[in-house]
Structure 1
C-alpha cells in the first residue's frame, strides 16, 4: 500500500549519522544528546532534517518502530520547517535544539507533554492545538515571530520561566494565548523576558498565573497594553511580584481571580481595572500599604471625562471589599476615603469650547460639590468613620454649653415667656440676673447651660429649656453698612451659636438616619 511522502523510512534513506542515532534511540525509548548545549552552528554530528523528526513523531512505520517514550533528543540542529499541523503526536522532547524555521503545530494533538526547554525557535504557530500533558519551554528563545497558541487546550500547565519572547522586535506580538484553556498553571518566572505584547485575553486557567522576576517591554510597534488579560478567568491566584522592571499598560478589564498576590512596585502606569474582580489579597499583597494601594488604583487610565465624578468606582469598591475580606479593615477604610477624596477633590475639570456656556455653572457646581465633600470628610470620614459625627456632636454640645454658661454670668439669658414680664414685682427683683433670681416661680424650669445646649442640638427632643429661655440680642442699626460692619456684640455671637447648633443638629440627625439606613441595606444585601 502506497503511503504519503514522509510517512515511510525509505523516503529518508540514506540516513545521516545523527538521524541514524535518533532512530535507534526512539526504538529503545532512550534520549539522545547530540551536543552538550544548544548548537551555534550546523554540523554533520547535530543536523536533523525536520521531515525526519516529523516522521518519527508520527510513529514511524513497520521498519522504524517507535517506543512509547516518543522522540527524545537534545542539542540538535533542526534543518528546515517542522510542520506538525493537524497531526497526532506522541510525547516529544526537543531540548536545547536550534530550529531554522518556524515550528508549526496548528490544531495538532499531543498525547503527552511537549518539551522545548532551552531551544531557539524563530516562531511558533500553534493555534488550536490540544496537549494532553504540559508544554515546557524553560530558558528558550523565540527570536523573530510570536509564539501563537490561541484557542489551544492544555490539560497540564505552561512553563515559560527563563525564556525570551522577542517577536516585538520585528513588529509582532511576543506571545498570543487568547481564549486558551489551561487546566494547570502558567509560569512566567526567573528572568522571563518579552519584547512586544503578551496577549492572554479570554484565557481560562484552572490553576494560577505566576509572573515574577520578569520583564515585559514595548517592541518596535507601540501597543496600548503590553500585558492583556482582558476577560481572563483565573481560578486560584494571580502572582505579580519581583518584576525586573515595572510593567506599563496592563489590561485587566473583566478579568476574574480569587487571590491577588502582588507588589506595588511591579505595576507601571496605564493600567485598566474596569470590571476586574478578585476576592482576596494574599501573600505579599497583604503587605502593600493603604496609600500604595490607593496610588495603584490611581494609575488607571482615565477617560476624557468632564467630571471626576465619572471615575469608575468599581475597582475602588472591589479593593475596599477585598481588603475587608482579607482581614485589613483599616486599609479598607483608608482606601475608601481616598476614593471619596478623589471623587470630590480630584483633577480639575476640563471645559471644552463647545461647553463654554455652562462654564460658570460647572465652576459653581464643583465648588458646591467640594464643599459637600469637605463636610463629609470632616464630619464622618466619607461614611467610613461615622464615630467622628459623635465626636463633633459632643464638641459642639460642650462648646455651646460653655458659651451659654458665660452668657448666664453676663446677664444675656432671659425668660422667653411674656407672662413673666407682666409681673412687675418679679421683673423688678429679677432684672439684675434672671437666671440666678431666687424669686422665679417653681413652675418655671431653671436654666441649665449644658441642658439648654443639648436641647438646641436635638431637633425632635424637648428638654423644656429652649421654649422657656432665650438670649438677649441687640436691635438692628438703621444703616445697612453699620449693621454689617459695626453692629457686633456678644449677643450676636450667642445668636450665631444658636443658629449653628440648630442647623448642625438637624444635619447630623439626617446624616445619622442615612447611615443607619445604608447600614441596614448593606446587611440585607
Structure 2
C-alpha cells in the first residue's frame, strides 16, 4: 500500500487527529489522554500511524509543525508506524502511547526520539538509526525485541525502568534477545537503571562516550522448551565506554559477559547477584560472571553483599587502580 503523501490523502480526519492538527504549532504537548489510554477504541484518542508518520516527516505548510517537534501524549496508535529510511526534521515524542503494532525506524534520521511510558506490543526495530540528540525509552513496556543495532546517537540512550520482553516461542518461552544494541555508538551514556529484561540484553562492540549504568536492573536469560536457562543474561563483549560501568544491586539469571571490554573508569558491582544457568538438579552450571581480558582504567568493586552462584572468570584482566572483592561465592 502506497504511503500517504498529502493531507487530503487521509480523507476525513479522525477527531483525535483533528485535535493534533489544531495544536501542532503550539510547541506544547498535545494531550489526548492523561497517561496510557484504555485499550478500548475511542475517537478521543485513536490516531492512525500513517498520520503520525506524515506529520513527523514534516507534513505540509498548512500543518505548521513547530520547531520543538511533534509531541503527543496518550494516543492509541493504530497500524504500523513505519519510518524506515525517513528523515525527520524535528524531535518526535510519543508519550504514554499504546501502539497497536510494530514501530519501524530502520535507517531513520532524526533529532531526538521520546517514547516514554509507551506500550510496544511488537518491540522496536531501529537498526542503523541516526539521532543527533537522545533516544529516550523511560518506562516503556516492550513485548518483542527492541533493536538498535549499529545505531548512532549524538547523546544518551535512556532506558531507565524499561520492561524488555523477548519474542516468545510456541510454548510461550522468551527466545533470543530482548534488547539488542550491537555496534551502537553513543556520544553520551547508556542508562538501563531498574530495567527488567526477559531475554538477553546484548551490547556487543558498543561504544559509549559516557557511562553504562545498570544499577538495580534484573536480567534474565532466555529459556529453552524445558524451562532451562540458555545463553547469556547480559552480553557486552568488546564494549568500549569512556566512563564507568555500574552494576550495583543488579540481579542476573544467566551469564553476565564482558569479554575484552574497555572502560575509562570503574567497574562497580557492589551488591550485585550473579547466577549462572542451572542444571537439572538445580545446581549452578557454567560461568556466572565472565570478564576475561577486561581493561578498566579505574577500579573494580565486587563487594557490599555481592553474591555469585556459579563460576567467575577474570583471566588476563587489567585493572589500573584498585581491585576490591569481598563477595559470597
Do both share a fold (TM > 0.5)?
yes
1:168 Cα deviation from its structure 2 partner: 4.9
**Structure 1 equivalent of residue 221 of structure 2:** 218
* Unaligned segments of structure 2, at least 5 residues: 169-173, 277-286
Structure 2 CA distance for aligned equivalents of residues 276 and 240 of structure 1 = 15
2:106: which partner in 1?
106
Q: Distance in 2 between matches of 1:26 and 1:158?
A: 26
- Structure 1 match to 2:257: 251
1:16 CA displacement? 1.0
Are the structure 2 counterparts of residues 55 and 219 from structure 1 closer, same or farther at C-alpha, using a change threshold of 3 Å?
A: same
Contact 2:233/2:252, CA 8 A, preserved across alignment: no
* 2:55 match: 56
- The TM-score with structure 1 as length reference comes to 0.54
Tell me the equivalent position of 1:7. 5
Question: In the alignment, is residue 23 of structure 1 matched against residue 21 of structure 2?
Answer: yes
Q: Please name the residue that 1:272 is paired with.
A: 290
Per-residue Cα deviation, 1:154-199 (whole angstroms, up to 9, x for no partner): 111011111101115442420010001011001111x310000111
Q: Distance in 1 between matches of 2:258 and 2:180?
A: 16
User: What is the number of residues matched between the two proteins?
Assistant: 302
Unaligned runs of 5+ in 1: 302-311, 335-525
* Residue 177 (structure 1) aligned with residue 168 (structure 2): no
Matched, 1:200 2:203: yes
SS at 1:51's partner residue? Answer: helix
Higher RCO (Cα < 8 Å, 6 or more apart)? 2
Match of 1:188 among 182, 185, 192: 192
Compute the displacement of 1:298 (Å). Answer: 8.0
Aligned-partner Cα distance in 1 for 2:203–2:216: 19
Task: Determine the C-alpha separation between the residues in 2 that align with 1:168 and 1:251.
Answer: 22
**What displacement does 1:13 show?**
2.2
Instruction: Give the greater-gyration-radius structure (CA).
Output: 1
Cα distance in 2 for partners of 1:48, 1:163 equals: 24
Alignment-derived partner of residue 233 in structure 1: 240
Contact 2:3/2:50 (CA < 8 Å) preserved in 1? Answer: no
Q: What whole-Å deviation, never above 9, does each CA across 1:323-372 have from its counterpart, x for those lacking one?
A: xx33x7xx69x9xxxxxxxxxxxxxxxxxxxxxxxxxxxxxxxxxxxxxx
Distance 2:219 2:138 in 1: 17
Secondary structure at the aligned position of 2:275 is classed as coil
Relative to structure 1, the CA distance from residue 168 to residue 15 in structure 2 (aligned partners, 3 Å threshold; closer, same or farther) is: closer
Shift of residue 5, structure 1, vs aligned partner: 4.3
Shift of the alpha carbon at 1:223?
3.1
Distance 2:79 2:261 in 1: 40
Instruction: Specify the SS of the correspondent of 1:93.
Output: strand
Richer in helix (by share): 1
User: 1:260 maps to what in 2?
Assistant: 267
Question: Contact 1:180/1:203 (CA < 8 Å) preserved in 2?
Answer: yes
Which whole-Å CA distance do the structure 2 matches of 1:197 and 1:246 have between them?
10
Q: Is the 8 A contact 1:168 1:197 kept in 2?
A: no
Equivalent in the alignment of 2:34? 36
**Secondary structure at 1:20 match in 2:** helix
Aligned-CA RMSD value: 2.5
- Going from structure 1 to structure 2, the CA distance change for 1:5 and 1:149 (only over 3 Å counts) comes to closer
Deviation of the 1:124 alpha carbon: 0.5
The 3 A distance-change label for structure 1 pair 215 and 62 is same
Show the counterpart of 2:146: 147
Which position in structure 2 is the counterpart of 1:116?
A: 115
Q: Distance in 2 between matches of 1:106 and 1:31?
A: 26
Change (3 A) 1:147 1:175: same
Quick check: 1:300 aligned with 2:312?
yes
More strand by share: 2
In the TM superposition, what whole-angstrom CA distance separates every residue of 1:2-45 from its partner, at most 9, and x where no partner exists? xx741210011211110011012212322211111112312110
Instruction: Indicate conservation of the 8 Å contact 2:167/2:175, yes or no.
Output: yes
